[in-house]
Amino acid sequence: MKTLFDKVWDSHVVRKIEGGPDVFFIDRHFIHEVTSPVAFLGLKNRGNSVLYPQRTFATADHNTPTLNQHLPVGDPLSANQLKALRENTAEWNIVHWGLGHRKNGIVHVVGPENGITLPGATIVCGDSHTSTHGAFGAIAFGIGTSEVEMVLSTQCIMQPKPKKMRISVNGTLGFGVTPKDVALFIIAELTTSGATGHFVEYAGDVFKNMSMEGRMTVCNMSIEMGARGGMVAPDEKTFAYIKGREYTPKGADWDKAMEYWSTLKTDDGAEFDKEFNYDASEIEPMVTYGTNPGMGVGITKTIPSASDIQASEVTFKKSLDYMGFAPGEPMLGKKVDYVFLGSCTNARIEDFRAFASVIKGKKKADDLTVWLVPGSHVVEEKIKEEGILDILTEAGFSLREPGCSACLAMNDDKIPAGKLAVSTSNRNFEGRQGPGARTILASPLVAAATAVTGKVTDPRELLKPELV
C-alpha cells in the first residue's frame, strides 16, 4: 500500500544511496532572475553544459517593476539579473518569458497556465513556494542555487526522502471562508514548524470541493508550516484544468498519460507518519497578528497571549512590539495604510473575482494605498475581458502589471517603514515587504473589505451570499 507521495517519489529515484539521499530525477525545472545567474556561472566555471534544456523554463518575476514595464529597469542590480537571465537562456536554448513577453508572469502562476505543471511530475525551482505546483498531484519543492546548477547539468538532485503527513479537512466551509483562510488556519494550528521534515497530502471534503486555484493557494502555503511541500491527488478538476494547454500531452499521448494519472491516489490502508483532522466549520476568515504565518487568528477573535498558544514570552513580545499590537486587542478595526492583492499565493483570476465581488459599487478608502498586481499577462487579460477592470476603476482602484511586487521587497513595490499592510502574500516576517514594514496576511476577500473601509474588516459584513 502506497501513498500518493510514495508513488510519485519512488518512480523518480534513479539511485538509492545506502544511508544517504536519493538521486532523484526532475521532470520540470523553473528558473527566474534571482537564483539562476550564480548557477549558470558555476556551470560555466566547471565546464558543464545544460543536459536537457527543454525541461527548464525561465520567467522574470521577482525583480520586475509593476509599472512601465516597457521602459528600461532603473535599479542596476535588477537590470543586471534580468540581463543575465536573458543571456543565459539564449546561450542554452532555454524557453525564456522575459519582461514584455505575453507569457511573462510569476513563475508559480505561469507554469500551470501553460500546462507545464502536470500530475505525477517532479518539479523544482530556486524558490521556496514551488510547493504551489503540488496542487496537481506533483512533487514540487524549492531548491538552493547550488542545486539549481545540479539540475541544469544532470537533471537530477540528491534528496533524502521526506516523511509523510496527511491533513484532512472535512465538512463545508462557511460563508466568506476561502482557501487562504484554510491554509492560515492549518498553519496556526500546527505552527510554523509543525510539518518540518514532511511532505503533506491534503485530503477530505474541503480539498475535493476546492477549485484548482484554491488548491494552489493551499499548497503554496505548505512551506510556511515547515513542510517540504504539499500535494492534492489529481481528479477530474485537475484533468479539466490542464487539458488543451500548450505543454499538456495531446491525442494518444494524453490518453496514455491519463492511464497513469488515474492511478495517482493514496491506496486504502497506506500509512502516514503523522495525520491531522479538522472540521471545516471551525474555520472563519483568518488574519495574522505577528511576524510569522503561524501567528494567525480568526478575524472576529482577539490577539492571544503567549501562554494561550504556548509560545516563548520573549519572542512573542518581540513580535507584537514590532507590529505595535498587544494581547487582548481585537484585530477588527485596526487602521491600515496599504492593501496588496497579488503574489504567487493570490494573484490568479479567482482572486481578482473575489476582490471585485466585495468592492463592486463601493469606493476605495481615502488615505489608503492599494496595489493590485496580477500574476501574469493571462490573468491581466482575463481581468479586462470579464469586466473586472471596469469594477476596479469605478471604485477608484488601478491595476498594475504582473510580477511578484510587494510580496518580498526585491523591486520598487515596498511598504514604507512603520506602515501597516493587509497582504494576500505568504509571509509576514519582519521587513519582508520592506524595511520596517508591518504585514497582516489575509485572503483576497479580507483585503477587499479592508480596501473600502481603510481598516481590518470582516468581508462577511459587506458580501452578499450569492456572490461568493
DSSP 165-225: EEEEEES-PPTT--HHHHHHHHHHHH-TTTTTTEEEEEESHHHHHS-HHHHHHHHHGGGGG
Neighbours of 48 (CB within 10 A): 14
**CATH of residue 189:** 3.40.1060.10
Contact 202, 277 (CB under 8 A): no
Q: Which residues contact 212 (CB under 8 A, 6 or more apart)?
A: 112, 135, 136, 237, 238, 241
Neighbours of 441 (CB within 10 A): 31
Same domain, 144 and 40: yes
Q: Which residues share a beta bridge with 371?
A: 340
The structure's pTM equals 0.97
**DSSP secondary structure, 301-344, as one string:** SBPPPTTTTT--HHHHHHHHHHHT--TT-BSTT-B-SEEEE-TT
Same domain, 292 and 222: no
Residue 301 confidence (pLDDT): 98
Strands 438-441 vs 420-423: parallel, antiparallel or unpaired: parallel
C-alpha cell at 223: 512551506
Handedness of CA 387, 388, 390, 391 (dihedral sign): positive
Same domain, 292 and 274: no
Q: Which residues contact 121 (CB under 8 A, 6 or more apart)?
A: 8, 27, 28, 133, 136, 138, 139, 140
| Collapsed DSSP state (helix, strand, coil) of residue 440 | strand
Same domain, 273 and 294: no
The closest alpha carbon to 180, from 303, 405, 346, 350, belongs to 346
Q: Residue 190 is which amino acid? A: L
The separation between CA 436 and the C-alpha centre of its own chain, rounded to angstroms, equals 23
Longest dimension (CA), the chain: 63
Question: What's the domain range around 451?
Answer: 287-467
Residue 466 confidence (pLDDT): 53
Same domain, 330 and 381: yes
Q: Which residues contact 210 (CB under 8 A, 6 or more apart)?
A: 179, 182, 218, 232
Same domain, 227 and 248: no
Same domain, 394 and 270: no
**DSSP secondary structure, 263-277, as one string:** T-SPPTT---SEEEE
Our count of domains for the chain comes to 3
Same domain, 44 and 115: yes
The closest alpha carbon to 36, from 131, 139, 156, 153, belongs to 153
C-alpha cell at 408: 518580498
What is the helix (H) or strand (E) element at residue 25, kind and residue range? strand 22-25
**DSSP secondary structure, 217-233, as one string:** HHHHGGGGGT-SEEE--
- Residue whose C-alpha cell reads 488556519 in the numeric block: 185
- Express each pLDDT in 286-333 by its tens digit: 999 999 999 999 999 999 999 999 999 999 999 999 999 999 999 999
Alpha carbon distance 436, 384 (integer Å)? 35
Q: Residue 71 is which amino acid? A: L
**CATH of residue 396:** 3.30.499.10
Contact 273, 280 (CB under 8 A): no
Q: Which residues share a beta bridge with 142?
A: 125
Same domain, 351 and 208: no
Residue 467 confidence (pLDDT): 47
Same domain, 80 and 64: yes
Strands 139-142 vs 122-125: parallel, antiparallel or unpaired: parallel
Residue 465 confidence (pLDDT): 62
Same domain, 309 and 381: yes
Alpha carbon distance 438, 421 (integer Å)? 6
Alpha carbon distance 166, 274 (integer Å)? 7
What string of pLDDT tens digits covers the 468 residues of the chain?
Answer: 999 999 999 999 999 999 899 999 999 999 999 999 999 999 999 999 999 999 999 999 999 999 999 999 999 999 999 999 999 999 999 999 999 999 999 999 999 999 999 999 999 999 999 999 999 999 999 999 999 999 999 999 999 999 999 999 999 999 999 999 999 999 999 999 999 999 999 999 999 999 999 999 999 999 999 999 999 999 999 999 999 999 999 999 999 999 999 999 999 999 999 999 999 999 999 999 999 999 999 999 999 999 999 999 999 999 999 999 999 999 999 999 999 999 999 999 999 999 999 999 999 999 999 999 999 999 999 999 999 999 999 999 999 999 999 999 999 999 999 999 999 999 999 999 999 999 999 999 999 999 999 999 999 999 866 544
Q: Which residues contact 348 (CB under 8 A, 6 or more apart)?
A: 109, 213, 216, 375, 379
- Distance, first Cα to last Cα, the chain: 39
**DSSP secondary structure, 382-416, as one string:** HHHHTTHHHHHHHTT--B--SS-GGGSSSSS--PP
- Express each pLDDT in 428-437 by its tens digit: 999 999 999 9
The closest alpha carbon to 61, from 101, 116, 1, belongs to 101
Number of separate helices (H) and strands (E) present in the chain: 15, 18
The closest alpha carbon to 35, from 154, 150, 145, 156, belongs to 145
Same domain, 30 and 80: yes
